Amino acid sequence: MENHRIEFKSRLSDGLEKEVVAFLNYPGGGTIFIGIDKNGAIIGVNNSDECQLLIKNRLITNIEPSCLGLFDVVSEKEGDKDLVKIRIASGQERPYYVKKYGMSPKGAFIRTGSAAEPMSVRMIEDLFTKRLKTSIRVIESPDQDLRFEQLQIYYNVQGKNLMPHFFKTLDFLTNTGSLNYIAYLMSDANKVSVKIAKYGVRGRADLLESEEFGNHSIIKAAKQVLDKVDVENKTLVEITPKERKENKLWDPIALREAILNAFVHNDYTTELAPKFELFPDRIEITSYGSLPQGLSEEEFFKGISMPRNIEIMRIFKDLELVEQLGSGVPRILQSYPQSSFYFSDNFIRMTFPKFVLVPKTMEETMEETMEETRGETRGETSLFILNLIKLNPEITAAELATRLEISQRGVEYHLKMLKQNGYLARKGSTKSGKWLLLKK
């Protein structure tokens, strides 16, 4: 049923922008389903592809500030019916409003319960004042002579082209037409320093290595950090009696998500870039800026998305570095607990311990071997042993080892398993006794 985060619409109507604006202004956003009526009955849509395209065009055209990067529109199947799902993140440039009505109670809405309600003039003014203080879109670039050859190359690789008017479409301009801080971060040359530090056993007092990947497009810096950490994420190999086990120092998927989240959600108004630190027992990834206002830790861990920098998020999505909204944290939590995250008033830090391969004692190795052999006593080697004993009940372990061309110790393992599983018994001493077959 509908609630404060879910809205059903039986068809695509004129009120769509109003509902989307309400979620954009509501902490944590929400989801709209097209093709489900108010009672939850599945109606479906006739042409899902056409519906998705129309929705995207309407949201891009009819809502201000730009909500690009703050919504995903996908098709879903419910039985034989097609649905369209719009997932909306809360934006940092609130208040959002329906363009034709302007920044007024007629155009600005917020989600209240299961309805979109007009925002008061006071609420609109308060949110607008906070926006001017926090948005990197309104901060002018310290350098107005910027080049974007690297960004052009990255778009070309994805089969996309940056058009001559990309300054506007990528929100690289302030309201006065100057290049803003987003453009500065994406330019070929800037002074945003991104570093990876590597420490010894004494921690930060024992700096072993420091590499700088900044001073150019943060897209390039992100790719360089990913490559560097991938090299550091070595593979540990464990040989067991049954298989060769390989483990990375850190889960590669979680690590990638953490690195990209740090770049996308960093508060660049502090003029600080995310920080990456390698310790003998862990990796620490720090992004500056606390949780966005209105987003709780519980909502953060549930994957409710409130991107700090929607313009950066959109470019990272264009270049297929990040996927759908809110997917990063849940992926990290598949491998690491919530306690891996530390929140302060000024930064968020993710700490991932290294995977450690603990050497097994001889007794543990032998027990593992026997455990893995259990249940396989009818395997090829065991059958050979049983057949040889049937032909010669007085055969010794040494003679079995010679006939089977394996070690005597290996034969003794199989004999022990055969006895434990009720296939064999020994009568008499090791030298003068004989084997008794208990099962045929």
Place of tokens 């040494």: 398
pLDDT above 50 (res 365): no
Q: What is the mean pLDDT of the chain?
A: 85
C-alpha–C-alpha distance, residues 346 and 359, integer Å: 41
Whether residue 130 sits in one domain with residue 81 = yes
CATH code of residue 349: 3.30.565.60
Worst-scoring range by mean pLDDT, 9-13, 194-198, 326-330, 352-356? 326-330
pLDDT of residue 357: 58
C-alpha–C-alpha distance, residues 130 and 132, integer Å: 6
pLDDT-derived band at 325 (thresholds 50, 70, 90) equals low
Q: Which residue has the higher pLDDT, 131 or 285?
A: 285
**What is the identity of the amino acid at 78?**
E
Residue 263: inside a domain, yes or no? yes
Q: Over the stretch 72-110, which tens digit does the pLDDT of each residue have?
A: 999 998 888 999 999 998 877 889 999 999 999 999 999
Whether residue 200 sits in one domain with residue 63 = no
Residues above pLDDT 90, as percent of the chain: 42
Whether residue 395 sits in one domain with residue 287 = no
pLDDT of residue 369: 47
Of 330, 353, 376, the residue that ends a domain is 353
Those residues whose C-beta lies under 8 Å from the C-beta of residue 416, and which sit 6 or more positions away, are: 370
pLDDT of residue 430: 75
Q: Which residue has the higher pLDDT, 240 or 395?
A: 395
Residues above pLDDT 70, as percent of the chain: 90
Whether residue 410 sits in one domain with residue 286 = no
Check residue 394 and report its DSSP letter. Answer: T
φ, ψ of residue 23 to 5 degrees: the values are: -75, -35
pLDDT above 50 (res 355): yes
Most confident option among 147-156, 358-367, 404-413: 147-156
pLDDT of residue 135: 73
pLDDT above 60 (res 165): yes
C-alpha–C-alpha distance, residues 13 and 34, integer Å: 9
- H-assigned helices in 334-379: 362-373
Q: Which sign, positive or negative, has the C-alpha torsion 314, 318, 321, 326?
A: positive
Residue 190: inside a domain, yes or no? no
Residue 62: inside a domain, yes or no? yes
Structure-block tokens of residue 224? 């360089």
Domain count of the chain?
Answer: 3
When pLDDT is averaged across residues 386-405 and rounded to a whole number, the result is 83
Of 353, 383, 418, the residue that ends a domain is 353
Q: What angle do CA 349, 350, 353 make, to 5 degrees?
A: 135
Of 326, 353, 380, the residue that ends a domain is 353
Whether residue 130 sits in one domain with residue 20 = yes
Is the pTM for the entire model greater than 0.85? no
pLDDT of residue 385: 84
Those residues whose C-beta lies under 8 Å from the C-beta of residue 251, and which sit 6 or more positions away, are: 335, 336, 352
pLDDT above 90 (res 34): yes
pLDDT above 60 (res 359): no
What 3-state DSSP class applies to 46?
A: coil
**What is the identity of the amino acid at 103?**
M
pLDDT above 90 (res 8): yes
Distances (CA, A) of 272 to 210, 287, 360: 17, 9, 45
Whether residue 411 sits in one domain with residue 333 = no
pLDDT of residue 291: 84
Domain membership of residue 280 as a residue range: 195-353
Whether residue 33 sits in one domain with residue 115 = yes
Q: Which residue has the higher pLDDT, 410 or 56?
A: 56
Whether residue 329 sits in one domain with residue 235 = yes
Whether residue 200 sits in one domain with residue 271 = yes
Whether residue 344 sits in one domain with residue 232 = yes
